[in-house]
Structure 1
């Protein structure tokens, strides 16, 4: 087994483990009320990943920056369309979406296929940077949309319930 094959196998297993971890964390988070903090922290914390681009081997040409960001934004559209909040006992909860699991699995499959097809043409560090950009391009628009949807639900919770006017007797 060559070193390249071993790295490919280990990074694929690592990606599968991270995806599984993300699914587990997401399923646990759905059981607790949502908050602005829970919505905005993931992209903020993930943004530290941009520090990888200080490492010279991860530098990318413009096309390899724009393409993964656009693919990520396209994937986020699916998440945005299927993400919903529900109000239960005055608290706002994220509604479970089966698409999230399938999207993560789909991205893992796409990642493996891209690594198989382009693995020899693109340096491993650059490939890691591109996958990071894809993930960030997906999570940022999704979380912004979630924040807007959450704020809208917050207004519903905070609005006083209006009494239905009674008809005047004639």
Structure 2
């Protein structure tokens, strides 16, 4: 599964991106919080907060290894060569943590904790990407407007 995710992410960087492509994954993933309707997934709040904060910490390498650039009228996501290593490293770290955490809570709660961790990793990464996308889009739009002004003048 991890290899499929890596391949999909690398192929996605060959196509231009937009705000929708950046923001839909965390919105779609947020529906997973409905799992907490089931009593088996309930856990102490501090477990959930800690899982989210660890996810935010894990987001940093993803943010650092993802950059955007403008090519023509489109914005593209450029992955650093370290991106694959970052994803694999995070996978190994999550597997190790999973083995440790499941000793203290039920398997269902472990799944819920790691869902929160994954969401904590995805959300800051996508917010950072969206902010960079907006900045580049504004620069591109200003550049295009300047080009139009020059051609009229």
Normalised to the residue count of structure 1, the TM-score between the two structures is 0.79
* 1:60 paired residue among 38, 43, 56: 43
Matched, 1:35 2:18: yes
Relative to structure 1, the CA distance from residue 130 to residue 100 in structure 2 (aligned partners, 3 Å threshold; closer, same or farther) is farther
Deviations 1:47-84 (A, max 9, x none): 11101111111111112101111111111122222321
Q: Give 1:102 shift.
A: 2.4
Q: How does 1:1-170 map to 2 (within 5 A)?
A: 17=1, 19-160=2-143
Unaligned runs of at least 5 residues, structure 2: 148-153
Q: Once superposed, what is the RMSD of the aligned Cα atoms?
A: 1.7
Q: Give 1:143 shift.
A: 0.7
State how far apart, in whole Å, the 2-side matches of 1:135 and 1:98 are. Answer: 22
Query: Radius of gyration: which is bigger?
Result: 1
Normalised to the residue count of structure 2, the TM-score between the two structures is 0.87
Relative to structure 1, the CA distance from residue 58 to residue 95 in structure 2 (aligned partners, 3 Å threshold; closer, same or farther) is same
Alignment check: 8 A CA contact 1:79 1:99 kept: no
Structure 1 stretches of at least 4 aligned residues deviating more than 3 Å after TM superposition: 160-163
Name the SS for the 1:95 alignment partner.
strand
Q: Give 1:106 shift.
A: 2.1
State how far apart, in whole Å, the 1-side matches of 2:82 and 2:55 are. Answer: 15
Partner of 2:150 in structure 1? none
Alignment check: 8 A CA contact 2:54 2:117 kept: yes
Q: Give 1:108 shift.
A: 2.1
Unaligned runs of at least 5 residues, structure 1: 1-16, 164-170
